[in-house]
Amino acid sequence: MLELADINSFYGKAHVLNNLSFQVARGQVVALLGRNGAGKTTTMKSIMQLVQPKSGQVTFQGQNITGWPAHRVAKLGLGYVPEERRIFTDLTVLENLEVGRQAPRDGTVTWTQDMLFDLFPNLAERRGNRGKALSGGEQQMLTIARTLMGNPSFVLLDEPSEGIAPVIVEQMARVIQQLKAEGLTVLLSEQNLHFARAVADCAVIIEGGSQKFVGTLAELNAQPEIRDAYLSV
């Protein structure tokens, strides 16, 4: 469904992604793992074309999307949840969701507010609250919920468990499992291997912008030397 082939991305003169290649099949949850600074966020932005690769190719559903404007990429059904939790702090939860609403899309779930409140009970309780009154974890949930209002077929989650309370991390894991059950494909970037094990089918490990491992979580668990080399603090 998504393929990166020999992607090289830069920030100015800094060469961040080095011939990065991997695939995500339809219906999979894939964890993009690596330490801080490994290139995970740049990978997400390169897929969305917010950072346009200098060379290589990003293919989504058989289309080469390299060099496309980011809004055109999103219209294909790619939903991006950045790490920064970009919500409208002066709008209520309900108003934030309405901002994300898009027309139904063939072949994927059409999300309603009621479906999202079932998925995120915390937001249901606070539907009339402004964004700035929410906790960090609730803001993260709202960012995901607003993205789902766009009815994506593929969701990119950048560090969804970062900086939120353990009880919210557990809820986030259940949400990702539910997204998979609804037929969505998910790529999530993570440093938290425990969280990745709870939700992902496969893992891609990057270090210095290069791919160091691709395989199932079971295969990764069987190679502690890989984990120790690229994921240990």
Tell me how far apart the alpha carbons of residues 183 and 108 are, in angstroms, rounded to a whole number. 7
Note the pLDDT of residue 165.
Answer: 81
Q: Which residue has the higher pLDDT, 95 or 107?
A: 95
Q: pLDDT averaged over the chain?
A: 92
Superfamily for 2-230?
P-loop containing nucleotide triphosphate hydrolases (3.40.50.300)
Question: Do 223 and 217 touch, CB atoms closer than 8 A?
Answer: no
Q: Supply 92's token pair.
A: 């209520």
Question: Do 34 and 205 touch, CB atoms closer than 8 A?
Answer: yes
Residue 216 has pLDDT above 60, yes or no: yes
Tens-digit pLDDT profile for residues 76-100 = 999 999 987 788 989 999 999 988 8
Q: Range with the lowest mean pLDDT among 162-166, 178-182, 190-194, 199-203?
A: 162-166
The average pLDDT across 44-55 equals 96
Closest CA to 95 of 136, 139, 132, 146: 146
Note the pLDDT of residue 233.
Answer: 57
The average pLDDT across 122-141 equals 90
Which residue ranges make up each domain of the chain?
A: 2-230
Residue 215 has pLDDT above 90, yes or no: yes
